[in-house]
Amino acid sequence: MAKAKPVKTTKAKTYKNFIGGSWVNSASGKTFENRNPANLDDIIGKFQDSNEADVKAAVKAARGAFPAWRAMPAPVRAEILYKAGEELIKQKEEIAKTMTREMGKVLKETRGDVQEAIDMTYFMAGEGRRMHGATMPSELANKFNMTIRQPIGVVGMITPWNFPIAIPSWKIMPALICGNTAVIKSAPDTPWSVWKLVEILHNAGLPKGVLNMISGGGPEAGQPLVEHREVDIVSFTGSTRTGRLISEMCAPTFKHCSLEMGGKNVIIVMDDADVELAVEGAIWAAFGTSGQRCTAASRMVVHKKVIKDFTQSLMDKAKKLRVGNGLDSKTDMGPIINEPQMEKILKYIEIGHKEGASMLCGGKRLMGIKHKNGYFIAPTVFAGVTEDMTIFKEEIFGPVTDVVQCEDLEDGIRIANNTIYGLSASIYTRDVNSAFKAMRDVYTGLFYINAPTIGAEVHLPFGGTRNTGNGHREAGQQALDIFSEWKSVYVDFSGKIQKAQIDN
Ligand code: UN1
């Protein structure tokens, strides 16, 4: 869980867990440090190193708060969300700056992260006055049928570091608007952003115990949260490996479990595409957030007729990206989140090399004066990548992308689908027929036409097929299906016994 071997220690504030409406220390009294991956001398704060005892206290608080929260009318619950949304708007710039210090991505992206949380908060607050069910005719006279949503109970949330406030909001806002209570465990690399969101919701008037927060590691705090018998739903975003373990832990008690996991996202570039537009999209999708997005484009599948131009331009533009501290307005790409992640990316680069792909640029850790105090990797482009290579198959989660040649549209679609994942895909083409064929036949949860693989909006469902997910969708009204259960209601106003399906 440690971020790095620190160089110096600056004075740091200690942040607490939030349980039952109070800010509290961890049961063990231990804390851990949260350092800036662009500058390891910069310490954001100390955070509680939570364990099972903290999980138990948090779940108990959430359970205790459930009956009253469930009974509160959804539009009244929504008022609290609206207030939180207003506060997020007020604090957007300050939150973005600290988030950049906390996890590295450039300021315009952390502003976007906060904006996404604002959008989600307002969108879900709106659901407080919608949350539609349906009314249906009955097969019997004088009988009325309808469906209503009901909250489930306590939600355990485990969130990642790459969208430190947006993704927690994807889980917290729909869970709360539906009438559930929750315990969120923040990612060890980004506890501040979650702390901030929780503080804002608390100040907006959330009743005690409705939302509880603990910080700490996966095995120490995440696992007891997933396994706690009073947790009814687990909502997780992170690696496919961890998601599989969580799914197994939830299975014995049929605990609901919503998983948002890895990707090996693809941009298909056809011979009739606006190649420069495709390159711009590729740069944004491959190197935005230093490639540390589940939706990052790590495979460029390019028609043989335009592959030369595309690759040349991609390489030229990747080389020009300015890598550095995300707070500097001249920086295009920030650092890698932590040392183990950086090592993992460098390992994949080495494997790409060994397996025979040609590295056109990047491929190494940056160690100059601007970089030596953080974890920076130069934007890396591999050409000549084939489908048998490890870098074609596995999620790297870093600033590394592959260029793969295709023969035609059918071949491009086939290569795009040759993956165990299915989060996001895109096609650049000017031919409407090609666009629609690819849209239909590429098996992913997100699909873009003439746009990169990133940029999902909060009112559309977000999630993926195959090993990316387990069938759920976050965001959009579809997120409500994770955090509520349907009840079918039959009202008989005939005053006599009526029997469905029985002949007389
Ligand atoms: C992620 O890729 O990890 O679609 C989340 C986007 C963002 C969310 C991405 N709205 O780019």
14 CA to middle of ligand 1, Å?
30
Question: Which whole number is the average pLDDT over 175-199?
Answer: 98
Closest Cα to atom 8 of ligand 1: 456
CA 315 – CA 341 distance, rounded (Å): 24
- 3-state helix/strand/coil string of 319-331: HHCCECCCCCCCC
CA 158 – CA 236 distance, rounded (Å): 5
With beta carbons less than 8 A apart as the criterion, state whether 278 and 246 touch.
no
The yes-or-no verdict on residue 504 having pLDDT over 90 is: no
DSSP string, 300-317: EEEETTTHHHHHHHHHHH
Per the residue annotation, which of 250, 294, 361, 406 is the catalytic one? 294
Q: What is the pLDDT of residues 314-365, one digit of tens each?
A: 999 999 999 999 999 999 999 999 999 999 999 999 999 999 999 999 999 9
Place of tokens 């969708």: 473
What's the farthest any 2 CA atoms get from each other in the chain? 87
Examine the residue annotation and report whether 294 is marked as an active-site residue of this protein.
yes
Examine the residue annotation and report whether 406 is marked as an active-site residue of this protein.
no
Q: What is the pLDDT of residues 385-424, one digit of tens each?
A: 999 999 999 999 999 999 999 999 999 999 999 999 999 9
With beta carbons less than 8 A apart as the criterion, state whether 12 and 43 touch.
yes
Position 67 scores a pLDDT of: 98
The yes-or-no verdict on residue 1 having pLDDT over 80 is: no
pLDDT band at 2 (very low <50, low <70, confident <90, very high): very low
Whole-number average pLDDT of the chain: 97
Tokens of 471: 């069938």
Tell me, using a 6 A CB cutoff, whether residue 75 lines ligand 1: no
Domain 14-261+469-487, second-level architecture: 3-Layer(aba) Sandwich (3.40)
Q: What is the pLDDT of residues 50-67, one digit of tens each?
A: 999 999 999 999 999 999
pTM: 0.96
Tokens of 158: 């485990």
The yes-or-no verdict on residue 10 having pLDDT over 80 is: no
| Helix (H) or strand (E) run with residue 410 in it | helix 409-417
Which residues share a beta bridge with 156? 183, 234
Per the residue annotation, which of 102, 109, 116, 260 is the catalytic one? 260
Distance of CA 305 to the CA centre of its chain: 36
Position 496 scores a pLDDT of: 97
How is the chain split into domains, by residue range? 14-261+469-487, 265-449
Position 503 scores a pLDDT of: 87
Tokens of 380: 């890396």
The yes-or-no verdict on residue 483 having pLDDT over 80 is: yes
Per-residue burial over 369-397, b = 16 or more CB atoms within 10 Å of its CB, e = otherwise: ebbebbbbbbbbbbbbbeeebebbebbbb
3-state helix, strand, coil in the chain (%, to 5): 40, 20, 40
Domain 265-449, CATH class in plain words:
alpha beta
Q: What is the pLDDT of residues 429-467, one digit of tens each?
A: 999 999 999 999 999 999 999 999 999 999 999 999 999
Q: Say if strands 181-186 and 154-158 run parallel, antiparallel, or are unpaired.
A: parallel
Tell me, using a 6 A CB cutoff, whether residue 454 lines ligand 1: yes
